[in-house]
Amino acid sequence: MLVVALALLLAAPLAGARAAAATTGGATPATVALASQTPWVTGPSGSELALRVASALPVERLGLNVVLYSRLGSRDALRETFGGTEPSSEYPLDSPATIPLASLDHGGLVRLHLPVTTGSTPATSRPSAPTLALDCATGGVCPGVYPLELVVIDRTDGAPLASLTTYLVYAPPTAGSLPLDVALVLPVGTHPALSPDGSVSLPRSRLDQLAELLATLARATTAPVSLAVHGQLVDALANGDGAARGVLSNLTGLLAAGRDQLLPATYAATATDTLAQTGLTGELARQLATDRQVVASHLHTPLADGPYVVTDQLDPAGLRALRSDGIASLVLPPSSLSTPVSPVATPTAPLLLAAPGAGSPGGSPGGSPRSSPGGSRSPSAAPTASTEGVLSDPGLAATFDGGGGSDPVLAAERFLAEASSVYFDDPFATEPRGVVVVGSPAAPTRFLSRVLAGLAGSPVLRPVTLSHLLATVPAGANGTAATGSLADGRPDGRAVAAIRRSVGAARRVLDTLRSVVPTDTALAGRLERAILVGEGAALDRHQHAAYEGAPAAALHRIAGALALSESRTTLTSRSGRIPVTATSSVGYPVHVLLQLRSSDLTFANGQSVLELPLALAGPAVQRDIRVSTHTSGSSRLELSLLSPRNEAVLVSVEVTIRSTAISGAAVALSAGAVLVLLIWWIRSSRRRRRTRPATGAAPGAGPGGGPGSGPGATDLAAAARS
| Per-residue pLDDT reduced to its tens digit, 326-336 | 888 999 999 88
Q: What are the distances in angstroms from CA 541 to CA 50, 547, 627?
A: 48, 10, 50
**Range among 207-221, 375-389, 631-645, 691-705 rated most confident:** 207-221
Q: Find the distance separating the first CA and the last CA of the chain, reported in whole Å.
A: 160
30-37 sheet: strands from edge to edge: 30-37, 47-55, 109-114, 105-106
Q: How confident is the model at residue 538 (pLDDT cuts 50, 70, 90)?
A: confident
Alpha-carbon gap, residue 433 to 475, rounded angstroms? 10
Helix (H, G, I), strand (E, B) or coil at 356: coil
Alpha-carbon gap, residue 181 to 418, rounded angstroms? 14
How high does pLDDT run on average in the chain?
81
CATH of 2-170, one of 2.60.40, 1.25.40, 2.60.120, 1.10.3470: 2.60.40
pLDDT of residue 311: 86
Single-letter amino acid, residue 141: V
pLDDT tens digit sequence for 432-452: 999 999 999 888 999 999 999
**Range among 80-89, 229-238, 328-337, 440-449 rated most confident:** 229-238
Q: What percent of the chain has pLDDT over 90?
A: 45
Cβ-contact 528, 371 below 8 angstroms: no
pLDDT above 80 (res 517): yes
Average pLDDT over residues 343-366: 63
- Domains 2-170 and 561-664 are alike in CATH topology: yes
Average pLDDT over residues 182-198: 94
Residue 362 half-sphere exposure toward CB, CA atoms < 13 A? 18
pLDDT of residue 385: 56
Q: What are the distances in angstroms from CA 274 to CA 82, 325, 491, 501?
A: 34, 17, 7, 13
Alpha-carbon gap, residue 555 to 648, rounded angstroms? 10
Sequence-distant (6+) residues with CB within 8 A of 146 are 68, 69, 70, 71, 72, 132, 134, 167, 168, 169, 170
pLDDT above 50 (res 361): no
Q: What percent of the chain has pLDDT over 70?
A: 80
User: Per residue, what are the HEC states of 246-291?
Assistant: HHHHHHHHHHHCCCCEECCCCCCCECHHHHHHCCCHHHHHHHHHHH
Cβ-contact 223, 454 below 8 angstroms: no
DSSP structure string for 486-521 = BPPP---HHHHHHHHHHHHHHHHHHHHHHHHSTT-H
Q: What are the distances in angstroms from CA 335 to CA 205, 391, 484?
A: 33, 9, 11
pLDDT above 80 (res 76): yes
Crossing angle of helices 242-256 and 204-219, in 10° steps, is 20
Q: How confident is the model at residue 536 (pLDDT cuts 50, 70, 90)?
A: confident
DSSP structure string for 632-680 = SEEEEEEEEEE-TTSS-EEEEEEEEEEE-PPPHHHHHHHHHHHHHHHHH
Single-letter amino acid, residue 667: V
pLDDT of residue 702: 46
Helix (H, G, I), strand (E, B) or coil at 234: helix
pLDDT of residue 665: 56
pLDDT of residue 121: 52
pLDDT above 60 (res 359): no
Cβ-contact 117, 172 below 8 angstroms: no
pLDDT of residue 321: 85
What are the backbone angles phi and psi of residue 62, rounded to the nearest 5°? Answer: -95, 140
pLDDT above 80 (res 528): yes
Alpha-carbon gap, residue 710 to 722, rounded angstroms? 19
Helix (H, G, I), strand (E, B) or coil at 224: coil
CATH superfamily of 561-664: Immunoglobulins (2.60.40.10)
Average pLDDT over residues 243-255: 96
* Strands 62-69 and 99-100, sheet pairing: antiparallel
pLDDT tens digit sequence for 485-500: 888 876 666 767 778 8
pLDDT above 90 (res 118): no
Average pLDDT over residues 451-474: 95
pLDDT tens digit sequence for 6-41: 333 333 333 333 333 333 344 557 899 999 999 999
pLDDT of residue 12: 37
Q: Which of 426, 555, 492 is nearest to 143 (CA)?
A: 426
pLDDT of residue 382: 38
Please indicate whether residue 284 or residue 554 has the higher confidence score (pLDDT).
554
pLDDT of residue 568: 63
Handedness of CA 371, 377, 383, 388 (dihedral sign): negative
Helix (H, G, I), strand (E, B) or coil at 29: coil
Tally: H helices and E strands in the chain: 19, 30
pLDDT of residue 378: 37
Sequence-distant (6+) residues with CB within 8 A of 93 are 66, 67, 68, 130, 131, 132, 133
pLDDT above 50 (res 380): no
Alpha-carbon gap, residue 427 to 340, rounded angstroms? 23
* Strands 90-91 and 62-69, sheet pairing: antiparallel
Least confident of 208-217, 442-451, 674-683: 674-683
pLDDT of residue 704: 46
Alpha-carbon gap, residue 56 to 13, rounded angstroms? 9
Q: How confident is the model at residue 174 (pLDDT cuts 50, 70, 90)?
A: confident
Helical ranges in 366-492 per DSSP H: 394-401, 408-424, 445-456, 466-472
Domains of the chain, by residue range, sit at 2-170, 181-354+386-485, 493-558, 561-664
pLDDT of residue 313: 83
pLDDT above 50 (res 316): yes
Alpha-carbon gap, residue 237 to 298, rounded angstroms? 9
Q: How confident is the model at residue 160 (pLDDT cuts 50, 70, 90)?
A: very high
Alpha-carbon gap, residue 531 to 511, rounded angstroms? 12
pLDDT above 70 (res 703): no
What are the backbone angles phi and psi of residue 363, rounded to the nearest 5°? Answer: 75, 15
CATH superfamily of 181-354+386-485: Glycoside hydrolase 38, N terminal domain (3.20.110.10)
Q: How many CB atoms lie within 10 A of CB 120?
A: 10
Q: How confident is the model at residue 369 (pLDDT cuts 50, 70, 90)?
A: very low
pLDDT of residue 343: 62
